[in-house]
Amino acid sequence: MFPKILLLHFVDEELEDDPVKLKQFVMSKLEDIPNEMKSVVEKTQLDAILLSPLKYRRPWELLWGNISKGNVCVAGDALHPMTPELGQGGCAALEDGVVLARCIAEALLKPGGEETNGKIVDEEEEYRRIEIGLKIFAQKRRWRSIDLISTAYMVGYIQQNNGTIINFLRDNFLSRFLPGMLLRKGDFDCGKLKY
């Protein structure tokens, strides 16, 4: 079976529509890696090379942007698209899923007073409760999302920087702390599903 290559980084526009040049571009980045890995890329067929733009949301957009509106919300990559340095996009999407399910369940199952007797009886009430559940979801995920997006960006900036000062700081100082910091970002308890 031939592998697929997914390029996520920004490349020159002239490369975008030319798979031959794209493949050459990938090969040019593989100088120092083992031959076995190079041969995987060499054997990749041209139509299996995919180019996808790297999306990133500025953290401050999450400060004042809407995460939910009415009975609709964003979650996963739609909420916190981030650069790939942390490898946490999928994990954070799962966290969103757990928190979202809990918030909706809590909103829908809470006692509704005498007239509803704990059950949802009309659409309007259901809409209102979902809206509240989504607002709570947004509150709970806002800062976690900002934290992940900002950290991923900073780590990428430091790792890929070619400036003398950042290089010096990275190699002599930050390299001691960065790996631990990255691992700690994944160590997040989003709680359990109660229902």
Ligand X SMILES: Cc1cc2nc3c(=O)[nH]c(=O)nc-3n(C[C@H](O)[C@H](O)[C@H](O)COP(=O)(O)OP(=O)(O)OC[C@H]3O[C@@H](n4cnc5c(N)ncnc54)[C@H](O)[C@@H]3O)c2cc1C
Q: Nearest distance from residue 24's CB to ligand X, in Å?
A: 21
The closest residue (CB) to ligand X is: 76
Selected range binding ligand X among 13-21, 56-64, 73-81, 114-122, rule: CB under 6 A: 73-81
Q: Nearest distance from residue 34's CB to ligand X, in Å?
A: 20
Distance (Å, rounded) from C-alpha 57 to C-alpha 89?
12
Distance (Å, rounded) from C-alpha 109 to C-alpha 70?
19
Can residue 87 be called a binding residue for ligand X (CB under 6 A)?
yes
Q: Nearest distance from residue 112's CB to ligand X, in Å?
A: 32
Distance (Å, rounded) from C-alpha 167 to C-alpha 158?
8
Residues 49 and 23: beta-carbon distance below 8 Å: yes
Selected range binding ligand X among 88-96, 109-117, 144-152, 176-184, rule: CB under 6 A: 88-96
- What's CA 178's distance to the chain center, in Å? 19
Place of tokens 């899923």: 97
Can residue 156 be called a binding residue for ligand X (CB under 6 A)?
no
| Structural element, H or E, at residue 51 | strand 49-51
Binding site for ligand X (CB under 6 A): 6, 8, 76-78, 87-91, 93
